[in-house]
Structure 1
């Protein structure tokens, strides 16, 4: 009973810890998503958690100029609306900077010059003069207004079209998709050879793969770039595909080899007895059985390449047809650093695809990693 009770408490602790980690990850993501649909004024005056509730703001507007006054009986009247078209609700107003919230909606304020001002809750105002007014500047109105929650797609339109994020999205896909498929295919062949094909020095090759896992990729940047330039690749998509393939292969071979070693040997031996070649065994038996491991590494590689900035800076040019999304966001931080709505929309465009890929294939990620860690040998 004690052991069962201890296990139960441990299970609750693990579940609670996992829930807290998920919550800590989700909260910033939700905040970023909500902020990406808000305008600059809303972001600067209130937090994203208030987006679904009305917010208050203080504004100063000038009424129509005295020349717009129209006769009405013995009076001259100016009528208009503050914050027109914004759907606001006025909660207080004033006519001087010393008392900007002295009156409630519907009250009548009397100016020192004798005319009266009334502002309604919907923003409509009425100014009455005893005689025809003169001058070129309208009456200043200090208004505190309650703004209903509102969202806009303008941030995404500007980011995708005006700021070039749409082009960078295509550039990133052009880099990421081949840089994910190529190392998966190459590593699958290598992993099968290291797992099931007899060859001299196989153990040394496995040890070399493990050793390459701890080598920082930064040490290879300069010699690899010189090699690309020397053979005529220069800075382009082919060069970055090969670079990401080389940097991702050690982990890919290690994961896939560990998984393939744990597959039932009886199936492979039976296929060989039936006359199947190594390529037929690989294509018809190993690949279908290794799909969870292939998918788990593909997720890792996709996320790493998608979020990469350093490799792209080294092996790609700076033209519009080669700037990836991470590079575009860095540029926006310099040119639009104060426009939080633009940065939020840019960031969410950047993370939307990885989030979709992860949640679509996460069951294969867990299965592939667990199988590789348990069955590896």
Structure 2
């Protein structure tokens, strides 16, 4: 038999392949977001991140200066310049002077324009419009051209995001909200979980049932009543208010998770400590907390990620004040006002997920141990 002989059963291979597929499905979009955040905006708007290491073809329309920019050179009236004046230079492969034939000519080919003028365009983008008579065109000649651009990467996207778009301030605001909103529920839930696990008092079973019931209550039901209460007591639209809100929303899961773990600790350890004269507080601090670190870290991951990525609670309890706007709110504004600036959005998104990724990979080894706490006796 496969299991007895030491060969891996088919089911185990299926599980491994399924996990690998899920990892790939989660990793590829994140990697693509990272690559896109370093790409040039013009290239990102016309090609996917998987083409980042290959040349990109762009079709561009350029309008030459009007007649008032012409100068006289050797009896000819000339307008000269470069079609890449507002963008990174590339290599021109074809051009035209009509939208119906935008690639009619190859670079270097002279093209006859109206009123006896002629146009020439080189591969590097230098153009020259010349005429024996003084030109009168007040709008300027349109030049359609196809450009092959080499791969370009830049740090300009992150510079704009961190220093020009207000993300830096929103990053600090988000940290100000997330760290206390993660630590406070853990502290309260740890005390409550110990009491519900090892302290005998009337109504303990009822409290456990209430905690389990609160897990299924939608937080949206309490947003407006809480905001009214906070406004009445003077903490509406403040960090204190949102800390308390996130604490209340996170406590049911925290208490449930920690209680399952603490309840599963060896009973002999607790009883021996009590026989030696240790108080409940001493047992909690010196024995229970050190042994419960996997469960604490597991909940910390969930709470940190939930608060960091939250938009609804932050909008309700902090609003859209520029001084208190969090990362998710800032990204929403960028999406509304810069819908076409993909380089700004990708850089902003990666700045937003960098800290949660760091927290997850730092504490992920405790995640499974904490989730399985109390499930096996």
Q: Which category of TM-score, normalised to the shorter sequence, fits these structures?
A: 0.7 to 0.9
8 Å contact kept, 1:179–1:244:
yes
For residues 88 and 231 of structure 2, what CA distance do their matches in structure 1 show? 57
For residues 352 and 208 of structure 1, what CA distance do their matches in structure 2 show? 36
For residues 232 and 97 of structure 1, what CA distance do their matches in structure 2 show? 63
Gaps of 5+ in 1: none
Matches within 5 A, 1:281-360: 281-360=283-362
Matches within 5 A, 1:94-105: 94-105=96-107
Greater displacement, 356-365 / 218-227: 218-227
Shift of 1:62: 4.8
Which residue in 1 is equivalent to 2:70? 67
Shift of 1:80: 4.3
Which residue in 1 is equivalent to 2:58? 57
Shift of 1:56: 0.9
Which residue in 2 is equivalent to 1:46? 47
Alpha-carbon spacing, 1:374–1:69, altered in 2? closer, same or farther (3 Å): farther
Matches within 5 A, 1:1-377: 1-3=1-3, 8-62=9-63, 67-71=70-74, 80-84=81-85, 86-109=88-111, 117-125=119-127, 131=132, 134-135=135-136, 140-375=142-377
In angstroms, what is the RMSD of aligned CA positions? 2.9
8 Å contact kept, 1:67–1:136:
no
TM-score in terms of structure 1 length: 0.86
Shift of 1:256: 0.7
Instruction: Report the 3-state secondary structure (helix = DSSP H, G, I; strand = E; otherwise coil) of the residue aligned with 1:58.
Output: strand
TM-score in terms of structure 2 length: 0.86
For residues 328 and 136 of structure 2, what CA distance do their matches in structure 1 show? 55
Alpha-carbon spacing, 1:220–1:134, altered in 2? closer, same or farther (3 Å): closer
User: What number of residue pairs does the alignment pair up?
Assistant: 372
Alpha-carbon spacing, 1:82–1:189, altered in 2? closer, same or farther (3 Å): same
Shift of 1:195: 1.6
8 Å contact kept, 1:39–1:152:
yes
Give a deviation string over 1:103-144, Cα, whole Å, max 9, x none: 333445555766665433333445676x57644666654321
For residues 11 and 175 of structure 2, what CA distance do their matches in structure 1 show? 43
Shift of 1:353: 1.5
8 Å contact kept, 1:69–1:132:
no
Give a deviation string over 1:149-199, Cα, whole Å, max 9, x none: 223333333333443222222111111110100000111111111222233
Shift of 1:234: 2.4
Instruction: Report the 3-state secondary structure (helix = DSSP H, G, I; strand = E; otherwise coil) of the residue aligned with 2:53.
Output: coil
Alpha-carbon spacing, 1:329–1:270, altered in 2? closer, same or farther (3 Å): same
Instruction: Report the 3-state secondary structure (helix = DSSP H, G, I; strand = E; otherwise coil) of the residue aligned with 1:374.
Output: coil
Give a deviation string over 1:316-346, Cα, whole Å, max 9, x none: 2432222222222333333333433333333
Alpha-carbon spacing, 1:210–1:123, altered in 2? closer, same or farther (3 Å): same
Gaps of 5+ in 2: none
Alpha-carbon spacing, 1:308–1:140, altered in 2? closer, same or farther (3 Å): closer
